[in-house]
Chain A
Amino acid sequence: MKMKKINALLISGLTALSSLAVEPSDLIIYINPGHGGYDSDDRVINLYPFADGDTSTFAESKSNLGKGFRLRELLWEKGYNVVMSRVTNTTADDLGLTTIGRLANAAEADLFLSIHSNATGTANRVNFPIIFFRGYDNEPVYPEAKVWATEIDNHLLTNNATIWTSTNTNVRGDWSFQPSWGTQGYGVLRALTLPGALSEGSFHDYIPEAYRLLSSHYYWVEGWNFSKAVNEHFGIAGVDYGGIAGRVNDERVLRTGDYKMFQEDLLAPVNGAVVELWDASGTTKIEECVTDELYNGMYSFRKVAPGTYKLKYSSPIHYADECDVTIEADKITYVNPKLKKVRSTPPVVLSYSPVWSEGADSVLCNEPIVLNFNWDMDVESTEAAFSIEPAVEGTFTWEDQNYRMVFTPNDTYATSTKYTVKLATSAQHAGGMAMESPVEFSFITTNRNYMEITGLFPNEGDPVHYDGASIEVRFDKYPNVTPILDQIKCYDSTGATVGLLKRGMKYSKTGDEYGYFRIPFIKDLTIGETYTLELSNAIADKDGITLKESVSLKFNAVDAGEAKSDPSIETMEDASLYSQNDDGCVNLVSSAVTLSTGLFDKCVSFAYEFVGTEGGEAMWQRSSLAELSATSADALGVHVYGDLTGNEVYLQMTSETDVKYAKLCDMTFLGWRYIVVPLTMLEGVNAYKVSGVKITQDASMISRKGAVMLDNVNLIANGAGIESVTSDDSALTIYPNPASEYLISSADGIIDCIELVSMSGQVVARAEGNVLNVSEVAEGSYLARVFKSGGYIVKKVVISH
């Protein structure tokens, strides 16, 4: 019922207005150019080329005033009485909102217009007018104000010199648009005793529009459309002349700038373009307009008698062109010329990369091929003219307004390979002229085209101590860790993401011997849970060389310190008992034995540094033999904190007659692990006691230094028959190592199968039984996983062909 009443009011209002016999001289139009002064409540956008604080840039207070002036001129010309709230742009012109409304009332105005432009206040960019009246959308305080606002919106949308992202009607009641303000609404509309509207004519945070809002030609277009709305509102006839306005753009050169652009705003506006209005025959020039240097390309001819004309346009760097244009009375005809740039010489390649010559350093296997031209190039013909041998699949991208072509290989180039790039003469610039001479150059790639993982923890199937666990990956080069949290993911068995603590991340820095990153979990892992670790193949070194393939593996959370009932034959609570035994050390630079925090109170840490990457040994002797002894029928349960070097850890066991070494593990893991070692290497029934600790260096780039920590060494009486080992078995041998054709495993008991696992956790070869064919396996370091009944044993092996 209410809606019907309002609609009736609107219709009656419209009817009344259209039947008026009023003259413009009877009417008073109040114009309020919004804001005022370059003050804090002004909206300023720092546009190139203006420096910060330069008021020549876009300021809403300035453009609002410019539009107001153009509107006033047009209304005066028709004979309206016009009152403006300001004609200058100073701080004093920023009148109070109550004052503005009261001034309009005091002026006894018939229509009020507050001129503004808009901004989204977000990162989103749009461009369209929104016109506000006081009240709710469907319940205006003055129904005539909604009519007035609609008339404004309709006319503003006829502006074809801009790019609108929407041409929908956007006429809103300020109470509906700003519901959080209640019925406060826009301040200038509050106190009006007359119909008023606030025009947000376009969005000045859409940067191409901000540039247009620097142009007096653009002010005139908006002022014209406002004046048309005024005439329509009062049923006043329009003017007997027309106008021409538009925007001059290059036909294909793109606008530069790191901001959002839509449709033809993607094309560069032409500064200094000359637009001329000629008679229809093209013999007499009537008027000339030159676009400014402010990247808007705007021009206008504001008072043109109806008829047919010729519009000619050119610029110093563009070909001249022209078109016919017909002018109608009371209408702007929009013409947006696109100029073709003058390209008078054939295209040539000014420079290219990679540049290589015999004897020079070889080129990275991911290096893009870049060609710089003297002209903006035709994309299709230039890409077709490009070739590379051996063939490489790749992607073309164009930069610098098509002056630069970049070919990026989809995959890395082959290693140590000579490539030859050619650009045939069929390549053309944007003006259609072809190259006169072909271009050819070659380069040789390095011997490395992927980043290699040299150490990884957790690896496939690894038990991981739940408390304080970290992920560590080691590489042959320093990784770029900036995006690493996007490239490494961990999930629990439900698929929920397991958080990683970025601020706890450590990574390789200049001077480190290898690349790595270590990143702890935010929370403790859940004992018994199986987790999935995924490493993206986007992980790259500082040169952008990536992993060859992604990694996905599963690991299990365990409690490495789970209470053991077995007695300890060495509690590892006293570091002073151990000291370096020089006779047992080879290529050792330094070592240190310290007491550290262990799984069970304290533990002993054995730090070492070897001279090089292979052949080192470190030996620490216990000052006295441990109290409890073991025999070959027993086993040891040892708590080892591995350092991911791959180095081998041994316990020295001494009897009254001889000395033996019980291998605990290869340190292919990080953190605490409980390791069971059958003591079958001991002699008969002799009683052996722990007498020292030994490290034997693995030959690799990550083995030069580290620290192993040992905690309780438990005696498992009569445990030598235990087969459920999870790390090592000194009775198991794998040979040859390095292997070329076959890898053969030998152990006490039946071997179920052998798997060869890459350092990134991928199973690369598998065979039932104890013989594995490795002839097709790529060279490198691997982990051989030998499955025996009840468990498996891991050995590091090298494949070399």
Chain B
Amino acid sequence: MKHILLTLAAAACAVSSHAQIAQVTSTERLLAGVESEMYYPILNEDGSRVLFSACNYKGLRMYDFNDGVTVKISDEERAGFDASFTHDGRSVYYVSQKKVDGLNMRQVKQYDIEDKTVTALTPMGRKVSRPVALNDGMIVKVDGKSHGAVSGDDVTVRIEGSKLYIGHGGTEKAYSPVESYAGYLWASVSPDKTKVMFFAAGKGIYIVDLQGNVVSELGNYEAPVWYGNDCVVAMNAKHNGYQHISSQIVMMRADGSEFQELTRPESMTMNPSASIHSGKIVYNTIDGRLYQMNITLK
């Protein structure tokens, strides 16, 4: 018990020394005593709301920093896996999953935050890509068929195995900038829509331009997210083959020039989400506690 308490205390304490990129101004636990089992936080652009799910991505809940209220968006399987806010922040896209005749079927849904209503955006399918929020709506592939339409200034990215599909100017091209047998994960477009970041399993985080050229290599960290156009926040987890033995939140310059530990390795902190507009980074601990860290860029 003592060990656990120390671990949790460490989770709450950011690493404040030798900060090169940002200064951590405060760290606080969210929804203590109110909610539990909170994983995979997703902040909206202005940092006023955060989505979170269960450890196995079952269900989706949203916490509003302004009114302190948590609402349940979905109880469905996998709802937290591919969730995102719409571009205007008024809705949430997510993918639900349920068994139909013994097979997992998935469907893209939209939750209207104000009306608290859910709308199915696609038919159910076996293969459903991650819905990508666009300037207007979203685009997703369901069993090979696209749903939604991109406009000329939309920049999109999606992954199939070890292929990165970057779309802009109305066209989409496949790239394999880095060899990775296991595949790519955590692809995202920078806020200024000039770069794409992804994680190559076994290799690490890479940033490419919109033509798939590698512009920086950030190291073998997981779950990277953008903090503005110039910084990246990720998790640095180690394991012994069976369980995690350390995990921390780290920050780095997008050009790879600087690196900073935001939490200690023993804090077992994971799955960061970030909003440069609010100066917030939200992450969870391995036992499902949610923390908010406030930072100021140097």
Residues of A within 8 A of B (CB): 16-17, 19-22, 26-27, 34-35, 41-43, 85-88, 92-99, 102-103, 105-108, 110, 116, 134, 141-142, 178, 181-187, 190-194, 234
Q: How far is the CA of A342 from the CA of B222 in the complex (A)?
A: 61
A35 near B183 with CB under 8 A, answer no
Choose among A95, A105, A142 the residue that contacts B202 (Cβ–Cβ < 8 A).
A95
A26 near B182 with CB under 8 A, answer no
Which residues B45-92 have CB closer than 8 A to chain A? 55-58, 77-78, 81
Q: How far is the CA of A85 from the CA of B77 in the complex (A)?
A: 23
In the complex, what residues of B have CB within 8 A of residue A108's CB? 104, 106, 126-128
Q: How far is the CA of A566 from the CA of B24 in the complex (A)?
A: 87
Q: How far is the CA of A88 from the CA of B241 in the complex (A)?
A: 16
CB distance from A352 to the nearest CB of B (A): 54
A183 near B287 with CB under 8 A, answer yes
Q: How far is the CA of A756 from the CA of B289 in the complex (A)?
A: 83
A16 near B102 with CB under 8 A, answer yes
Choose among A26, A97, A106 the residue that contacts B243 (Cβ–Cβ < 8 A).
A97
Residue B192, interface by CB 8 Å: no
Known contacts A93-B202, A96-B222, A106-B159, A134 near B243 by CB under 8 Å = no
A187 near B81 with CB under 8 A, answer no
Choose among B56, B181, B239, B287 the residue that contacts A96 (Cβ–Cβ < 8 A).
B239
In the complex, what residues of A have CB within 8 A of residue B277's CB? none
Known contacts A105-B81, A184-B243, A190-B56, A20 near B185 by CB under 8 Å = no
Choose among B102, B181, B186, B243 the residue that contacts A186 (Cβ–Cβ < 8 A).
B243
In the complex, what residues of B have CB within 8 A of residue A110's CB? 103-104
Q: How far is the CA of A81 from the CA of B166 in the complex (A)?
A: 26
Choose among A27, A41, A182, A187 the residue that contacts B287 (Cβ–Cβ < 8 A).
A182
**B269-298 interface mask toward A, CB cutoff 8 Å, 1 = contact, 0 = none?**
011000000000000001100000000000
A-B contact pairs, 10 of them (CB 8 A): A16-B99, A20-B102, A86-B181, A86-B182, A96-B222, A97-B243, A97-B244, A98-B237, A99-B185, A187-B243
In the complex, what residues of B have CB within 8 A of residue A85's CB? 182, 201
Q: How far is the CA of A142 from the CA of B99 in the complex (A)?
A: 12
CB distance from B281 to the nearest CB of A (A): 17
Known contacts A85-B182, A98-B222, A26 near B126 by CB under 8 Å = yes
Number of interface residues of B (CB under 8 A): 42
Known contacts A95-B202, A99-B185, A193 near B103 by CB under 8 Å = no
Residue B240, interface by CB 8 Å: yes
Q: How far is the CA of A27 from the CA of B183 in the complex (A)?
A: 19
**Chain B, Cβ-Cβ closest to A61:** B241
Known contacts A88-B181, A98-B222, A110-B104, A193 near B56 by CB under 8 Å = yes
B242 near A186 with CB under 8 A, answer yes
Residue B114, interface by CB 8 Å: no
Choose among B57, B103, B244 the residue that contacts A184 (Cβ–Cβ < 8 A).
B244
In the complex, what residues of B have CB within 8 A of residue A105's CB? 57, 78, 81
B202 near A193 with CB under 8 A, answer no
Interface of A is mostly: loop
Q: How far is the CA of A106 from the CA of B56 in the complex (A)?
A: 13
**Chain B, Cβ-Cβ closest to A20:** B102
In the complex, what residues of A have CB within 8 A of residue B99's CB? 16
In the complex, what residues of B have CB within 8 A of residue A141's CB? 56
In the complex, what residues of B have CB within 8 A of residue A194's CB? 104
B104 near A102 with CB under 8 A, answer no
Which residues B117-169 have CB closer than 8 A to chain A? 126-128, 159
Residue B97, interface by CB 8 Å: yes
**Chain B, Cβ-Cβ closest to A195:** B104
Residue B203, interface by CB 8 Å: yes
CB distance from B26 to the nearest CB of A (A): 27
CB distance from A693 to the nearest CB of B (A): 68
In the complex, what residues of A have CB within 8 A of residue B286's CB? 184
**Chain B, Cβ-Cβ closest to A32:** B182
In the complex, what residues of B have CB within 8 A of residue A16's CB? 99, 102
Residue B223, interface by CB 8 Å: yes
A22 near B78 with CB under 8 A, answer no
The 5 A-B residue pairs with the shortest CB-CB distance in the complex, in nearest-first order: A20-B102, A92-B202, A193-B78, A41-B241, A35-B241
Choose among A41, A88, A116 the residue that contacts B240 (Cβ–Cβ < 8 A).
A41
B185 near A102 with CB under 8 A, answer yes
B243 near A181 with CB under 8 A, answer yes
In the complex, what residues of A have CB within 8 A of residue B242's CB? 186-187
**Chain A, Cβ-Cβ closest to B54:** A141
Q: How far is the CA of A234 from the CA of B126 in the complex (A)?
A: 16
Q: How far is the CA of A186 from the CA of B277 in the complex (A)?
A: 36
Residue B101, interface by CB 8 Å: yes
Choose among B57, B58, B102 the residue that contacts A22 (Cβ–Cβ < 8 A).
B102
Interface centre among B183, B186, B201, B242 (most CB of A within 10 A): B242
B101 near A187 with CB under 8 A, answer no
Residue B207, interface by CB 8 Å: no
**Chain A, Cβ-Cβ closest to B125:** A108
**Chain B, Cβ-Cβ closest to A34:** B241
In the complex, what residues of A have CB within 8 A of residue B77's CB? 193
CB distance from A17 to the nearest CB of B (A): 6
Residue B210, interface by CB 8 Å: no
Q: How far is the CA of A181 from the CA of B81 in the complex (A)?
A: 24
Residue B233, interface by CB 8 Å: no
Known contacts A16-B102, A22-B102, A187-B244, A97 near B237 by CB under 8 Å = yes
Q: How far is the CA of A182 from the CA of B3 in the complex (A)?
A: 12
Q: How far is the CA of A184 from the CA of B240 in the complex (A)?
A: 14
**Chain B, Cβ-Cβ closest to A91:** B202
Q: How far is the CA of A86 from the CA of B180 in the complex (A)?
A: 9
Residue B250, interface by CB 8 Å: no
Residue B197, interface by CB 8 Å: no
Q: How far is the CA of A21 from the CA of B100 in the complex (A)?
A: 11
Contacts A92-B202, A93-B181, A99-B182 supplied; 10 other A-B pairs, CB < 8 Å? A92-B203, A96-B237, A97-B237, A99-B185, A110-B103, A178-B243, A184-B243, A186-B242, A186-B243, A234-B102
Residue B235, interface by CB 8 Å: yes
Q: How far is the CA of A42 from the CA of B77 in the complex (A)?
A: 34
**Chain A, Cβ-Cβ closest to B270:** A98
In the complex, what residues of B have CB within 8 A of residue A19's CB? 102
In the complex, what residues of B have CB within 8 A of residue A98's CB? 222-223, 235, 237, 244, 270-271
Q: How far is the CA of A124 from the CA of B20 in the complex (A)?
A: 51
In the complex, what residues of B have CB within 8 A of residue A86's CB? 181-182, 202
Q: How far is the CA of A97 from the CA of B186 in the complex (A)?
A: 15
Known contacts A41-B240, A108-B126, A134 near B56 by CB under 8 Å = yes
Q: How far is the CA of A30 from the CA of B41 in the complex (A)?
A: 26
Choose among A43, A103, A182, A192 the residue that contacts B183 (Cβ–Cβ < 8 A).
A103
A95 near B159 with CB under 8 A, answer no
Q: How far is the CA of A680 from the CA of B81 in the complex (A)?
A: 109
CB distance from A776 to the nearest CB of B (A): 73
In the complex, what residues of A have CB within 8 A of residue B81's CB? 105, 193
Q: How far is the CA of A178 from the CA of B235 in the complex (A)?
A: 25
A97 near B239 with CB under 8 A, answer yes
Q: How far is the CA of A142 from the CA of B78 in the complex (A)?
A: 13
In the complex, what residues of A have CB within 8 A of residue B128's CB? 108
**Chain B, Cβ-Cβ closest to A192:** B56
CB distance from A175 to the nearest CB of B (A): 11
A99 near B56 with CB under 8 A, answer no
In the complex, what residues of A have CB within 8 A of residue B244's CB? 97-98, 184, 187
In the complex, what residues of A have CB within 8 A of residue B55's CB? 183, 190-191
In the complex, what residues of B have CB within 8 A of residue A92's CB? 202-203
In the complex, what residues of B have CB within 8 A of residue A186's CB? 242-243
Choose among A17, A22, A116, A191 the residue that contacts B56 (Cβ–Cβ < 8 A).
A191
**B171-190 interface mask toward A, CB cutoff 8 Å, 1 = contact, 0 = none?**
00000000001110110000
Which residues B9-34 have CB closer than 8 A to chain A? none
B287 near A99 with CB under 8 A, answer no
B201 near A187 with CB under 8 A, answer no
Interface centre among A181, A184, A193 (most CB of B within 10 A): A193
In the complex, what residues of A have CB within 8 A of residue B78's CB? 105, 193
In the complex, what residues of B have CB within 8 A of residue A88's CB? 181
In the complex, what residues of A have CB within 8 A of residue B104's CB? 108, 110, 194
